[in-house]
Amino acid sequence: MIGDMKTSLDGLPGQLGLQAKVDMGDESKRRAVDKGLDGIQETEKEISHIQDFNRDAGFIFASSGYRTAQASGPDPWPLDWSLTKLTSPRIMDNIIPGDASSVPADFMAYGTEANMWKNGPCVGHRVVKHGGSSGWTTGTVNAIETVISGNFSACGKTIVAWSVVPARFPNYFCYPEDSGSIVLDAEPGSPARGTWVGLLFAANLGYGIGYFIPMEVVLKDISLVTGCDVIEPTPFR
């Protein structure tokens, strides 16, 4: 961007720039030159701010590592969570991110709180997530648990998970970089809309399917590892 502005001002070999035209007496280009110089200065200040900005968010407080938790059937749930202690003065709120144009239709309004979790897989429910790679996406929780072979599991053993089928094929519910996103209930008319139902941990790029761990399993393991009670999010009643 700066390069384009400088080219416009300085010109190219065999092509006069705006600055040269002003120096030759063409005052009609003066305003464009001043605007270009201001734009270059502001852009350079913004780049300098970004380069010097402290990106330290905090440090890892606790983590599950690649472990498993017992499920109701013979195969366990995978565990892959971590907690970050934020560095002051950074803060974080459990609110719906984005703006009115990016949040899925008929879901909670952006900026509203999402600080409750719900037990159960929400089979057949519409769910949404906001991922760092793909942003807001929607899908439906499959009625059957997915069994993932130990050959494809970071835990080194066969595991089970709930899968989310994207709302429209060939759309994707998630990409690998979205791992760690919170899956939220978005079933139309449900009083539990906006509650946390799971933690996204894997994706099938062939079909656009996402896999998540039930939030109840995650929160129980957090309490087990840290020895602390989870006070937020709170259980949905």
Does residue 185 surpass a pLDDT of 80? Answer: yes
Does residue 87 surpass a pLDDT of 70? Answer: yes
Say whether both 104 and 12 belong to one domain: no
Residue 134: its pLDDT value, please? 87
Say whether both 46 and 104 belong to one domain: no
Compute the mean pLDDT over every residue in the chain, rounded to the nearest whole number. Answer: 88
| Average pLDDT of the segment spanning 190-198 | 92
**Count of domains for the chain:** 2
Say whether both 38 and 115 belong to one domain: no
Does residue 8 surpass a pLDDT of 70? Answer: yes
Residue 63 domain-assigned (yes or no): no
* Secondary structure (H, E, C), 104-159: CCCCCCCCCECCEECCCCCCCCEEEEEECCCEEEEEEECCCCEEECHHHCCCCCCE
- Using CA atoms, how far residue 149 sits from 155, 158, 179, 213, in Å, is 10, 5, 19, 16
Q: Which domain holds residue 26?
A: 2-52
CB 74 within 8 A of CB 160: no
Paired sense of beta strands 15-16 and 11-12, if any: antiparallel
Model confidence, pTM: 0.74
Task: Tell me the CATH number at 228.
Answer: 2.40.10.10
pLDDT digits (tens, 9 = 90+) for 140-180: 999 988 888 877 667 778 899 999 999 877 789 998 889 99
CB 233 within 8 A of CB 196: yes
pLDDT digits (tens, 9 = 90+) for 109-134: 888 889 999 987 689 999 999 998 88
Residue 82: its pLDDT value, please? 93
Say whether both 149 and 210 belong to one domain: yes
Read off the amino acid at residue 129: K
Please indicate whether residue 148 or residue 63 has the higher confidence score (pLDDT). 63
